[in-house]
Structure 1
Amino acid sequence: MYWEDTDAGGVVYHAQYLAFLERARTEWMRAQGHGQDVLRTQHDLVFAVRAMRIDFRLPARLDDALQVSVSLVQCRRASLVIAQSIRCGDTLLLDAEVRVAALSAAGFKPRPIPQPLFEALNALVETPA
């Protein structure tokens, strides 16, 4: 963690966790071959966070090295449910459930996930442990 992520006491500010989760989801999609530019240009699609449940368990602190996980737990025709966690070593700091909606990139209106992408994402669905 960096100074910019923390408060005066060296504890990570709660809103920063949202940015960490977002970056991890973006990098996960990119690693699957579905980067944001590909989604937008090839599929006329963007994903937008619709709802999020977060359990803050323990604080992260200045200089902590964090690991952020991403696990697709549900793929529906026009939405995804993603489980995420943030750990420092073996210690769970935060877990979250993120619901994202599929939207048209051109008009930001709800739309179904295109069939080839839907099938590819469905193949990545993991059952929660």
Structure 2
Amino acid sequence: MSFEHKIRVYYEDTDAGGIVYYANYLKFMERARTEWLRAMGTEQDILLEHSVGFVVKRVEMDNHAPARFNELLSIQTEIVELKRASLVFKQIIISPANKPLVSALIRVACVNILNMKPQAIPEKILGEFSRVI
């Protein structure tokens, strides 16, 4: 099941030519994953209170076409792999003309933030993730 989040491209997101600087796509995707988690009923600040965090372990990103200043982009997010302590998201950034601009596979690991060691995804959250795969 795919989750959609919209993001407006601000001037600060662009380079001198008004095109989104490539690293900012990673920020857009991070925001979309956070909003996806929130839509599922999980707030990251509550997880942090329990020493649970999610960290990006790997990113494979392909840039297909540029996004430009003031465009309203759609970011589609879905889980394509779920393990006990990690998951892989597929994210696609779509233009207002419905063209794919950027696609990425992002592996995220669950860690104990006190020692930064991998840990199992809490059962309640794992159940919610399993429900949407």
What TM-score results when the alignment is normalised by the length of structure 2?
A: 0.88
- CA–CA separation in structure 1 for the residues paired with 2:77 and 2:19: 23
Match of residue 20 from structure 1: 28
Match of residue 53 from structure 2: 46
Q: How does 1:4-83 map to 2 (within 5 A)?
A: 4-42=12-50, 44-83=51-90
- CA–CA separation in structure 2 for the residues paired with 1:64 and 1:105: 36
- CA–CA separation in structure 2 for the residues paired with 1:38 and 1:107: 18
- Structure 1 vs Structure 2: percent identity of aligned residues? 41
SS in 2 for 1:123: helix
SS in 2 for 1:19: helix
Deviation at 1:115, TM superposition (A): 2.1
Aligned-partner residue type, residue 58 of structure 2: A
Deviation at 1:122, TM superposition (A): 1.0
Identify which range, 25-34 or 109-118, moves more after superposition.
Answer: 109-118
Deviation at 1:119, TM superposition (A): 1.7
Match of residue 121 from structure 2: 113
Q: How does 1:66-105 map to 2 (within 5 A)?
A: 66-89=73-96, 90-105=98-113
Q: What do residues 76-113 of structure 1 show as CA deviations (whole Å, max 9, x unaligned)?
A: 00001101010112111011000000101222111111
- CA–CA separation in structure 1 for the residues paired with 2:69 and 2:126: 39
More strand by share: 2
Q: CA RMSD in A?
A: 1.1
- CA–CA separation in structure 2 for the residues paired with 1:45 and 1:9: 40
- CA–CA separation in structure 2 for the residues paired with 1:109 and 1:87: 35
- Highest RCO, 1 vs 2 (Cα 8 Å, sep ≥ 6): 2
Q: Name structure 1 gaps, 5 residues minimum.
A: none
Q: Name structure 2 gaps, 5 residues minimum.
A: 1-8
